[in-house]
Amino acid sequence: MISFFFKKKTLPLLTEDFIFFLKNKFGVHPINQQLYLEAITHSSYKNIENSQYDNERLEFLGDAFISLAVANYLFKVYPDKKEGYLSQLRAKIVSRENLNKIGEDIGLQNFILYQKSSNNYKSLVGNTFEALYGAILIDVGLEKTQKSIEEFILKNHINIDKIILENRDYKSELLMLFQKKRTPIVFKTFKTDHIQQEVTFSSEVYSNGERIGKGIGTSKKAAEQDACRVILSAT
C-alpha cells in the first residue's frame, strides 16, 4: 500500500514508488500531484482519514476520455471497418471487466487508498484506472494522454486479435452457411452434470437428422456457440 508524508501547510506528496509506477506504466511524470492522489482515493477512505476528496469526479472524466481515445485508436487502426464492428470492439475494450483486468495486470491495486473491510468494492481497480486517466488528462493535456493510452495500454495490454475471436458470432455464421445450402439445422441444448461445481450445458447440432457437431458451455448460448465453432473449424 502506498503511503504519503505531509509537510505543514502543503499538499501531500506522492511517494517515489508511485511516481515511478506512473512513469513506467503510463509514461507520465506528474506535475499536479494532488490530482493523482485524488485519483487513487476511494470514497470509503474518507471514513478513516477524514479526506475531503475522492476519485469519483475524475472517474467520470476518465471514463469519457478512455471511450473516446479507444474509438480514435480503432478508427486509425481499422480504416476499412464499419461502425458496428468498431463499436463492438470498443465496448469490449472499455468494459469494466477489461479495465479491471488491465489495472490488475499493471499492479494498480497496490496503490489504491480505500477502507479495507468485509465489503467487496466492485470494480475498485477499473474505476481507479479511469480516475487516473482523468487526472492525467487534466495534468498533461489531451495529446500526451492519448499517446499514453495508445503506447502504454492499448499496444501493451490489449490483444485485439483475441478480442475479435472472442466476439465472433459462430452461430450466425453457421446459420448463414446452411441457409445458402438451403439446408435447415436444428439445435438440441440441455443441462449436463455439474463440472467443478458449475452448471454446464451441452449443445448438439443436427442436419437432416444427423448430428454434425457438439459443444459445451456455462450457458445455453455459450454451448451453442461452441458447437458452431467446432463445425465451422471442420468445414
Dist. CA 197–CA 174, nearest whole Å: 31
User: For residue 188, what is its C-alpha cell?
Assistant: 438440441
What does the buried/exposed string (b/e) look like for 118-139 if buried means 16 or more CB atoms within 10 Å of the residue's CB? eeebeebbbbbbbbbbbbbbbb
| Cβ-proximal residues to 34 (8 Å cutoff; 6+ apart), any chain | 11, 12
User: For residue 82, what is its C-alpha cell?
Assistant: 464499419
User: Is 54 assigned a catalytic role?
Assistant: no
User: Is 63 assigned a catalytic role?
Assistant: yes
**Residue tagged active-site, from 59, 63, 224, 226:** 63
Give 144-158 as a DSSP string: HHHHHIIIIIIHHH-
**Residue tagged active-site, from 54, 130, 139, 150:** 130
| Cβ-proximal residues to 97 (8 Å cutoff; 6+ apart), any chain | 126
Please give the distance of CA 231 from its chain centroid, rounded to a whole number: 30
Pairing of strands 185-191, 201-207: antiparallel
- Could you identify the residue written with the cell 483486468? 101
Catalytic positions are 63, 130
